[in-house]
Structure 1
């Protein structure tokens, strides 16, 4: 059988479903489309979503509710930049926040010039900020983050505890991360996912991070499948993919497997019995 055309088969408990999302349109997308040199402008430091970007968020939010995806997601991982966090809480958060509710909001009112009401964290999956899934690091101010102390004020219910440094010590003004370095970081991020117990995870991140990470995969697939995995994401595009643990990184036991033979009894399959009889005959 042709390897490329054959289906893959893996134990369910060694798979996770990843719902990959690129952030909605940011101010830097608009300015960079008009003039690529704008990406070097300090005025685009950690840009927020545009009004069109927020419309894209609303459309994706409607989609995940209509498809039932909103009820399946156990964890939302987000890159700690303003545009990704706005996208994440807008898509996967609860309805408008009300004072007096004994839970912190995911986003306070008008965070990042959003003109949006506060977004509730009530009945939501946990939101965790992770630096490994940031965009290309260095040179472009739009990819430099604010301090975690500032973010905590406007995104109170996002968990920033996995981020070691309050200030952004990963971004360098004169050195841009290479494409292959982004891919290595992406693989490290995917390996880290196996330390999480959650099986269905939404990840809100960036075009470059997704493209260079996913380009590592699909070489053993049909070209159309490879293309489906690796093409650039549009703003606020969602693609759901399955990641497979082929190397025993994960340690979670299967929850749906059943051992059989309970109550116990004779159950030697006929083909095994034939093989056993044949081997016994050879031994005489």
Structure 2
């Protein structure tokens, strides 16, 4: 248990998704440059006027803020990506949410569909590839490639990250090297789609994924009888962020996860609610300030 945690703030005015006037039901990040606002920065240089993209200006500004801040303050940009459509999404639509929650979600599958540790459907794979095409189009225009890639260890999240980033022509020194993080998972318990596979299976299917230190062979977090409360999920995701901000010195991070996990992250960082479709991505500009005392005591 750490003797400190972080207080998080979403810095508004940089991404359209952070603004109250943006309709999350209509917003399409693929058509809006990931939502980056067209604006000026205090780090803009007269000699570069007209020669730099908004992403280049933004990246320089973020690094400037982080470099000049005290050792207890950090600035990062998190690209939060929801996995593409999985077979559990298909099943919930097929049976209806009420029946799904009360019965079908507790099974490994039915009617020719398997949703335990659900994999992507063809539609879900296509959604991930659409995100990849956006990255492909923006990398030459200066969007900063993620410096660290974190993934939920559930199959659908790893598949999404792979389809999004694996084929990109990334800058030298910034390879796609995903790290599996237990705390980045979807709401825990009861639903078999949220029970992860054993570590040996993950290693066999995704040998390029580095599972974090202490990653257990069997899933110790999933409980077949108890479903995690939203308050518990929020605490879990706040602990994940504390870990990343305390130990990862990089500024631009990719986190590929789930709707519930992303909702909790947005809540922790003080971001407005913003629903993501399957395969959706939302960038957030975050300030973290170290606070004395462990998070459990502060909650």
**TM-score, structure 1 normalization:** 0.68
| 1:124 partnered with 2:178 | no
- Structure whose CA Rg is larger: 1
Distance across 1 between alignment mates of 2:154 and 2:234:
19
| 2:226 alignment partner, SS class | coil
Q: CA deviation at 1:246?
A: 2.0
Distance across 2 between alignment mates of 1:230 and 1:133:
18
Tell me if structure 2 keeps the 8 A contact 1:131–1:163: no
When residues 179 and 204 of structure 1 are mapped into structure 2, their CA distance, relative to the original with a 3 A threshold, is same
- 1:42-61 alignment, distance < 5 Å: 42-43=108-109, 44-61=115-132
When residues 71 and 175 of structure 1 are mapped into structure 2, their CA distance, relative to the original with a 3 A threshold, is same
Q: CA deviation at 1:189?
A: 0.8
Q: CA deviation at 1:126?
A: 1.9
What stretches of structure 2 of length at least 5 have no aligned partner?
A: 1-11, 15-41, 43-61, 68-73, 110-114, 293-299
**TM-score, structure 2 normalization:** 0.65
Aligned partner of 1:23 in structure 2 is 83
| 1:167 alignment partner, SS class | coil
Higher relative contact order (CA 8 A, sep 6+): 2
Aligned partner of 1:63 in structure 2 is 134
Among 69, 76, 79, which residue is 2:152 paired with? 79
What stretches of structure 1 of length at least 5 have no aligned partner?
A: 1-5, 96-121, 219-225, 250-284
- 1:94-243 alignment, distance < 5 Å: 94=167, 124-194=175-245, 195-218=247-270, 226=271, 229-243=272-286
When residues 28 and 70 of structure 1 are mapped into structure 2, their CA distance, relative to the original with a 3 A threshold, is farther
**Equivalent residue pairs, number:** 210
| 1:20 alignment partner, SS class | strand
| 1:244 alignment partner, SS class | strand
| 1:57 alignment partner, SS class | helix
Distance across 2 between alignment mates of 1:53 and 1:89:
12
Distance across 2 between alignment mates of 1:72 and 1:123:
7
Distance across 1 between alignment mates of 2:193 and 2:221:
14
